[in-house]
Chain A
């Protein structure tokens, strides 16, 4: 593991860093981290599920980034819509039109941006809170641990969707609020996992040694505990993005999404509340739902592959 202290360069380090003056400890650590990452990547590449998931994700992220270059934002403007409302797929509108005559294809492409953005933002918030709480609780122990875990358990126990609905209703609908609400309601799982790992690392003898040498909490956490926890956090993060995107969809469907921006969830909300289901306008409902399904599935596949790589106990499942 990268956090292991070793002042003397080992054989494979010199091999990697080349001959010359003795490298600094930092350079050694960096080289070892690079090597560990390369090993993990080689292992990941052998996992077909993970690679398929990754390919789907790369595709979706590319589409989200490139959409503004190919589809002008004016296509989303209701006042400039030229199509007949609710017309089925045609040569001009490959995926038909929505209730105000806009192209469903353009909406779906633009929707990917907000759905992915909210998913990533919420995940960053969630993982930050979860990691900080988990590491502090696991490392400090005693009453800090008890109090933090009490709060974590409370968030674990409270039903997620009602809590998110209550918060979103009170804060009001906006992109930042939705991301915040999802982030603040989805961190306890991460906190639990990180705490368990932080506890395990804190109990290792070299931590005692570092402490005896005068290392403070900050040094111990950033140099030893965090590097040993990051792989776990990473695998967990990928799974949280999937949950966050699904949550955004659900909240947006309930009308709590940003009213000024198009996301896959808000498309489903608009489609359903304008009666797309009762007139059988499947072309309006299928594309956003299918995109959500694919992206969430892809994140789940990547997350499981990562867990298999980083947690050897799961190998061969």
Chain B
């Protein structure tokens, strides 16, 4: 029985834990800022020279770039200016697009969230189902087949899977015609607000979404299978069965809820990768999201854009980590009070 004193102590401990996590997240973000600053301004030498590498640029333009970076000032002042700009949302001007980096990034978030979000949801549903069925019928044909398939999916580069699917269903093999468009998000000239437009986007979405779903689901299936196998050895399941519960109920009411804990954490951790998770797949299918944008930024190379995208990707993962932590302490009482 918890006394009032013990309960209030538990609460403060939990608060201290959450506070520590938040502080850690802020520190991580600050670290990203420092890292970004040094990496992009100090390591590659003169950013103005980098901008003009392999290109003929008038001397006054180089001077303008140097001015915009504040390169004449001492390092601490440069850093202060950089932090101030970044915190106020000013990420610089993209070399390639000649527009503010924040604007360029903003238009690309939607397509990526649509593609990766949908793939994540699908892979969670399918992956959990495969993991549960596999663990419950451990050693069965289904289990061995799905385990082998999961390991193989885990071992192949996802963009390679994407290219193969692109050839099979987009380009067409031999006499078979391609069923789906090979790239982009919509056919030019289609009215996006009409039903035909929505269907058109869905057709474009199908192949990249299928690839990502296959690439992601292996992890969920493997984790779910192994955490359910852990639970299946526990005594409380024997008790449940001894009470006369049917197998299906033992599984659904007792084993699965407990086994879901590690998987839930994994899901939340992976949510942070929703914005950065599809760099190669978006490149293969020319899906106009943040992944393709990163590819464009690194092949130019467009340093301000790359820096901005990296900042966003890191921030997303850090925030998702904090959420996963909070959720975990809510779901697992041992963490909450311990």
Binding site for B on A (CB under 8 A): 150, 153-154, 157-159, 161-163, 165-167, 169-171, 242, 246, 249-250, 253-256, 265, 268, 272, 277-280, 282, 285-286, 289, 292-293, 296-297, 300-301, 317
Contact A293 B155 (CB under 8 A): yes
Q: Given A254-B298, A278-B182, A293-B152, does the pair A162, B159 have CB atoms closer than 8 Å?
A: no
Contacts of A161 in B (CB 8 A): 276, 279
Contact B39 A170 (CB under 8 A): yes
Contacts of A246 in B (CB 8 A): 155, 157
Contact B151 A297 (CB under 8 A): yes
**What are 21 sample pairs from A and B whose C-beta atoms fall under 8 A apart?**
A153-B24, A157-B321, A159-B272, A162-B313, A163-B314, A165-B279, A165-B294, A165-B298, A169-B298, A170-B43, A254-B295, A254-B298, A254-B299, A265-B157, A279-B171, A280-B167, A282-B164, A292-B160, A293-B160, A300-B151, A301-B151
Q: Which of B155, B159, B294, B314 contacts A297 (CB 8 A)?
A: B155
Q: How far is the CA of A159 from the CA of B316 in the complex (A)?
A: 9
Query: Taking chain A's interface residues, is the majority helix, strand, or loop, or is none over half, making it mixed?
Result: helix
Q: How far is the CA of A16 from the CA of B154 in the complex (A)?
A: 44
Does B146 sit at the interface, judged by CB under 8 A? no
Q: Given A165-B294, A170-B44, A285-B167, does the pair A242, B155 have CB atoms closer than 8 Å?
A: yes
Q: Which of A157, A170, A293, A301 contacts B40 (CB 8 A)?
A: A170
Query: Taking chain B's interface residues, is the majority helix, strand, or loop, or is none over half, making it mixed?
Result: helix
Q: How far is the CA of A254 from the CA of B295 in the complex (A)?
A: 7
Contacts of A272 in B (CB 8 A): 163, 284
Does B214 sit at the interface, judged by CB under 8 A? no
Q: How far is the CA of A165 from the CA of B157 in the complex (A)?
A: 16
Contact A300 B156 (CB under 8 A): no
Q: How far is the CA of A253 from the CA of B294 in the complex (A)?
A: 13
Contacts of B310 in A (CB 8 A): 162-163, 165-166
Contact A159 B298 (CB under 8 A): no
Contacts of B309 in A (CB 8 A): 162
Q: Given A159-B314, A159-B317, A277-B166, does the pair A296, B156 have CB atoms closer than 8 Å?
A: yes
Contacts of A268 in B (CB 8 A): 157, 159-160, 163
Residue in A closest to B160 when the chains form the complex, CB atoms: A289
Contacts of A250 in B (CB 8 A): 157, 159, 280
Q: Which of A166, A277, A292 contacts B156 (CB 8 A)?
A: A292
Contacts of B155 in A (CB 8 A): 242, 246, 292-293, 296-297, 300
Contacts of B318 in A (CB 8 A): 157
Contact A280 B298 (CB under 8 A): no
Q: Which of B28, B151, B156 contacts A153 (CB 8 A)?
A: B28
Contact B306 A169 (CB under 8 A): yes
Contact B164 A289 (CB under 8 A): yes
Contacts of B262 in A (CB 8 A): none
Contacts of A289 in B (CB 8 A): 156-157, 160, 163-164
